Structure 1
């Protein structure tokens, strides 16, 4: 057999952050480069990308990056990878245009321009492997699956997909192409699992379109639609419904104008009446019953922006009595808490919040029947479930066994785990590569680790306690006794005795430390932190972040303050 390796740098045992590495005889092919949105406990983190260490260390072996579709979970990490590794990027026309928007918006990659447009008729021969594609159905046009053709069979990666015969042009799955790939032999299938726990048939796109139209048509006040920016299928349905009922549409999403403009230029989004599109600053010129506001938020998630609307912090829109806030795309699992909080804030502002997913089964991902149907068509020798939490990967494996796959041919990979094939073509683990979460916070890339997150969590729950003391290291004495300050820990006016006693504890510990023979700045701060931490926990059963600040008075400065030089007398001759 040729030497083939498969490694998931993200996208397994988690939702989003898709990035899969296929190696064929030393040549590396990267399938998708996505991000995921942070979980609730990742305080202050904007989003998370895969660990790129392995690709950076082997940059000379990377032949290209191949993208399945234009959603953040597939292209969101691309700018950070291209800032370090300059290799060609391949994808459908719309995917490439959306990727360009992403890449140009990041300083480290904005000069990159090695993009290549492909479709399901494209074949690229890299010598060790031939890369080809197949059309899939998702919530964005021109989604593709990827085939890495090796001498021992195809490695097939589905990307996000579902089966829906009722979708329009640009969204259809090519079943005959799947049959052709199957006839060539499929050594391993990397198939998404995000909806594997459900056996319920998702509503078809025409059913969803009708529900959106009915909701908009029945409402008398303003309608505020919340959607992810790259869900072009849903955005098209909203625009069509608004125009049918005579509502003017204002785009208020951060990236929406650019995405709509790009999709329209490529013929992937249709607006039948341009006069119905208005600018956000024109909202005040129309009656509530004439308005539809389409909000997509920043980085594709609109929920935080809805909260801004409800609390009066949005630039153009403030939710008021009579407003309907209608969420037409299903938020990720990580945002369930945010959804509940946002709904509460919207109701307090006077609006009403509804979710399309509460009225219809809505998903852009394959359910259990779709997964089994794909397995029946492709008949892979091995299956690697991807794109999903562990419970979803496990459910996918069970569905595969129900249609005849043997357990030894199904591999539930861990992030960073390297998978190879034995002489019989069966999967086996073969080491690991770095695959930690890399957290993006503002312009910081990877500088937020577990310790920082732990401190943020403690700060958010227990507050901070600061102790400031001034010493003379030379004279081994305290110059200015401890002053303590706190935020988010206790109410100071009711805790004056606690604060005074805490300050005395620090004075005692510092006096004791200075009486010793040695001196180390880190050590004295650690001593203060320990004594304060124990005292505060004993008194309150809480553990705030303790921040000791130890200042030193230099010998000369100290003596000058104690014995100032006498001022010279000026003679008056």
Structure 2
């Protein structure tokens, strides 16, 4: 007999990021008074709205307010969109982290760089069962683009909450670090699965993802065609399986390899822990590549960094490589949201130098479940409710349609928005209320700032309407004007053709100060604000612009 009081224990499932967007994944499962955090990722800003922002992380307000209830943070694999926000989260809360050994190594490296201490990082294997807080959590192996990825199932009195992770079905020869196991999810249905949460990023693709995610056959054709040419390959360092495919293909064609970036070299060193090594005879140093006609140069990085680096190489803006029009460029990286502008500029730079460009990612699927993969997991677990996660809204809907095709009723499919909470009691959905007003946390450099967007708004104004700086000097005792006014603009108008603006704005400054002194209402701050408001209204009416206005009243002691 089930425990009646346990059945009344509420389960709340919600997202702080990752729904109706690409990246910034963070999902929370709240069982009773305990919170399980799944993923903590970043996303890159839209290219039209970046305004100097490096990336965006979720709003942690709810977690900070309830930090004493957090049972643990679970990171399923080592990608920025699921673990990049960890240092910003861990600077504000202290909670245990659970991840695979390889991912744990990456997390420890980041924590050391950010000088974050007193965080317990637990290494879990892909068949482990651990009691985290009050509940059992089962980790099951999946196949993804990085080794040791897993999905999870949280055991509750109402049934399992299953998060499938970013899996694909691939039954070809794989090492243990990549091989998935779908027998474990099938066993969950014996106890009952209340909710299945599945990745939506590949939900618009029919069939299975495998074998269309493999790059090796396409790269082999390139090596064969350009047998005696140098080939530069750009790839995201976190696409580990793809990097291993590229290296293994080079070895099979007896091509020398240069691992050009430190990130790649560190990755290969980490992969030794799972038994992957490269024969030393294959690798060459950077000072040798100008003397080897058929070397393959692997250029790794993340986000904008890898595209910018390749642009620099093609423009001969690096000291150790002389790029020529005989070289071949292979783009083995997908264009991530937020880096489209840099990617286009990179392509332009390559073509200007006369290089040949081959864009492989257009013919290769990303390692996310396609429709038949999603159906397999639904069939294996037989959940009572289905929640699409990870992806733009159209992809969430396509994922929901997959469940509809498998005879789920609309009442069993829950499409949430960030901050919306699905609440379950007695194995039934009770509500889907919007309970949290979330704000993006913008990261500029190494710190988060300005969740309300004030700084970002200032940058937007500066980029569109420019700035006007007003300065004037007055006697600190009498408040009479003794210097100025001086009017300077940047990015507003060409003042040579608009001298009247300078004159009119100067008059506004003088009159505002004189009136305040006459009425005995002068206060430096209040008067500056009044000048700013009057000038802003004047410019809006006169030229239709709303620049940033900085007014300065310098009070000078003339008695000294």
Distance 1:408 1:427, change over 3 A: farther
* TM-align CA RMSD: 2.6
Distance 1:448 1:308, change over 3 A: farther
Out of 351, 355, 376, the residue aligned to residue 347 of structure 1 is 351
2:239 corresponds to 1:231: yes
Cα shift at 1:71: 0.8
Cα shift at 1:200: 5.9
Counting only pairs closer than 5 Å after superposition, residues 108-187 of structure 1 correspond to structure 2 as 109=116, 111-112=117-118, 114-126=120-132, 128-166=134-172, 168-169=174-175, 170-187=177-194
Report the equivalent of 1:571.
none
Q: Which stretch shows the higher mean deviation, 251-260 or 367-376?
A: 251-260
Counting only pairs closer than 5 Å after superposition, residues 380-529 of structure 1 correspond to structure 2 as 380-426=383-429, 428-430=431-433, 432-433=435-436, 435-447=438-450, 449-472=452-475, 474-529=477-532
Q: Find the aligned partners of 1:245 and 1:275 in 2 and give their Cα distance.
A: 14
- Given that 1:140 and 1:233 are in contact with CA atoms closer than 8 Å, whether structure 2 keeps it comes out as yes
2:257 corresponds to 1:286: no
- Given that 1:51 and 1:437 are in contact with CA atoms closer than 8 Å, whether structure 2 keeps it comes out as yes
Task: Give CA-to-partner distance per residue, 1:450-490, whole Å, 9 cap, x none.
Answer: 12112212222332221222223532322212212222333
Q: Which stretch shows the higher mean deviation, 183-192 or 324-333?
A: 324-333
- Given that 2:10 and 2:425 are in contact with CA atoms closer than 8 Å, whether structure 1 keeps it comes out as no
Q: Which stretch shows the higher mean deviation, 330-339 or 187-196?
A: 330-339
Task: Give CA-to-partner distance per residue, 1:263-294, whole Å, 9 cap, x none.
Answer: 22332x331x22332344x256434x333222
Cα shift at 1:318: 6.4
Q: Which stretch shows the higher mean deviation, 153-162 or 510-519?
A: 510-519
Cα shift at 1:207: 4.7
Cα shift at 1:42: 2.4
Structure 2 residues not aligned, in runs of 5+: 1-6
- Given that 1:79 and 1:102 are in contact with CA atoms closer than 8 Å, whether structure 2 keeps it comes out as yes
- Given that 2:162 and 2:195 are in contact with CA atoms closer than 8 Å, whether structure 1 keeps it comes out as yes
Report the equivalent of 1:57.
65
Out of 190, 195, 199, the residue aligned to residue 192 of structure 1 is 199
- Given that 1:167 and 1:204 are in contact with CA atoms closer than 8 Å, whether structure 2 keeps it comes out as no
2:364 corresponds to 1:361: yes
Distance 1:29 1:167, change over 3 A: farther
Task: Give CA-to-partner distance per residue, 1:152-210, whole Å, 9 cap, x none.
Answer: 10001122122222362222221212211233211011111112223265462685211
Report the equivalent of 2:77.
69
2:263 corresponds to 1:255: yes
Report the equivalent of 2:112.
104
Task: Give CA-to-partner distance per residue, 1:394-415, whole Å, 9 cap, x none.
Answer: 2211221121111112222121
- Given that 2:212 and 2:364 are in contact with CA atoms closer than 8 Å, whether structure 1 keeps it comes out as no
Q: Find the aligned partners of 1:283 and 1:524 in 2 and give their Cα distance.
A: 67
Q: Which stretch shows the higher mean deviation, 185-194 or 302-311?
A: 302-311
Q: Which stretch shows the higher mean deviation, 65-74 or 458-467?
A: 458-467
Distance 1:247 1:126, change over 3 A: closer
Structure 1 residues not aligned, in runs of 5+: 561-573
Report the equivalent of 1:3.
10
Cα shift at 1:424: 4.6
Q: Find the aligned partners of 1:429 and 1:32 in 2 and give their Cα distance.
A: 22
Q: Find the aligned partners of 2:326 and 2:549 in 1 and give their Cα distance.
A: 48
Cα shift at 1:147: 0.5
Q: Which stretch shows the higher mean deviation, 401-410 or 349-358?
A: 349-358
Classify the secondary structure of the residue corresponding to 1:277.
coil
Cα shift at 1:229: 1.0
- Given that 1:230 and 1:300 are in contact with CA atoms closer than 8 Å, whether structure 2 keeps it comes out as no
2:20 corresponds to 1:17: no
2:49 corresponds to 1:44: no
Q: Find the aligned partners of 1:385 and 1:199 in 2 and give their Cα distance.
A: 17
Q: Aligned pair count?
A: 550
Distance 1:404 1:521, change over 3 A: farther
Counting only pairs closer than 5 Å after superposition, residues 270-281 of structure 1 correspond to structure 2 as 270-271=277-278, 273-280=279-286
Report the equivalent of 2:4.
none
Cα shift at 1:430: 4.7
Q: TM-score, normalised by structure 2?
A: 0.90
Out of 312, 332, 335, the residue aligned to residue 331 of structure 1 is 335
Q: Find the aligned partners of 2:213 and 2:386 in 1 and give their Cα distance.
A: 32
2:269 corresponds to 1:265: no
Q: Find the aligned partners of 1:286 and 1:499 in 2 and give their Cα distance.
A: 63
Classify the secondary structure of the residue corresponding to 1:296.
strand
Distance 1:424 1:448, change over 3 A: closer
Classify the secondary structure of the residue corresponding to 2:376.
helix
Classify the secondary structure of the residue corresponding to 2:247.
helix
Counting only pairs closer than 5 Å after superposition, residues 553-572 of structure 1 correspond to structure 2 as 553=556, 557-560=557-560
Q: Find the aligned partners of 2:483 and 2:316 in 1 and give their Cα distance.
A: 46
- Given that 1:201 and 1:361 are in contact with CA atoms closer than 8 Å, whether structure 2 keeps it comes out as no
Q: TM-score, normalised by structure 1?
A: 0.89
